[in-house]
Amino acid sequence: MSDTHAATPVAIADRGAVRVITVDRPDKLNALNAATLDALHQAFDAAAADDAVRCVVLTGSGSRAFVAGADISEMNTLTPVQGRDFSLRGQRLMRRIEKMPKPVVAMINGFALGGGLELAMGCHLRIAADSAKLGQPEVNLGLIPGFGGTQRLLRLAGRAATLELCLVGTPVDAARARELGIVNRVVPAADLETETMKLANQLAESAPLALRGVLDCVNVGGECAIEEGLEYETAQFGLMFSTDDMREGTGAFLERRKPAFAGR
């Protein structure tokens, strides 16, 4: 593993074609302040631009928290205008992650509350330790979710679950989060890193342009009428036939060998 971590609230390390981005504020349970949001945005910009990176894993430092929420000590002093700006800063980051051209897997190793759950929901896939707790407890602080929580939770878990989580504010365990569709997989805490990296490596070996096509189609389709989504899918499907990866993938299938995708 090559480690490019500097003295920032975010640590970055490459494991082959998988880039691991870690929110590194364990003394604050990895809470998101403005500096951390900006550092994460820069980290995802860099991962998107690096052709050697084919998949990103996002996690939190230590075993207690993925991200326990936004930094309350910072929020406590904000004016209404500053609060709105803080919300926009967080929403821009979540949208940046959501629109990444490469798969992003959230490795949820502990508390994912408030801004932490919003951060996880911005990722494409979520794997949680069985000990993780997830929720939107902002109402207990006299707040509402501000980084897209009401909107992404609604799309993942539906209206009833969203209202319960956001109105009551009580976190759920990982098993319940899986039942609600908030996380994709739940694994024993001791196996979390192994299972997450197994999935990330599988994604990193897949055809990059095809993965990007799937991500684009789902992003577009989630925000338009089905007719428009189907039209977009057809266009993307046709484009795949111009790629070397499509010839390699179909050829490898016919020749009963493992494909070697080059991303072109």
The residues assigned a catalytic role are: 118, 138
Closest CA to 20 of 7, 37, 33, 2: 2
Q: Is the dihedral of CA 8, 149, 147, 68 positive or negative?
A: negative
Long-range contacts of 242-250 (CB under 8 A, 24+ apart): 243/207, 243/209, 243/210, 245/207, 245/208, 245/209, 245/210, 246/207, 246/210, 248/207, 249/207, 249/210
Closest CA to 103 of 222, 19, 224: 19
Q: Which two tokens stand for residue 235?
A: 């266009």
Sheet holding 65-67, edge to edge: 65-67, 111-113, 133-135, 172-173
> Are 166 and 136 spatial neighbours (Cβ–Cβ below 8 Å)?
yes
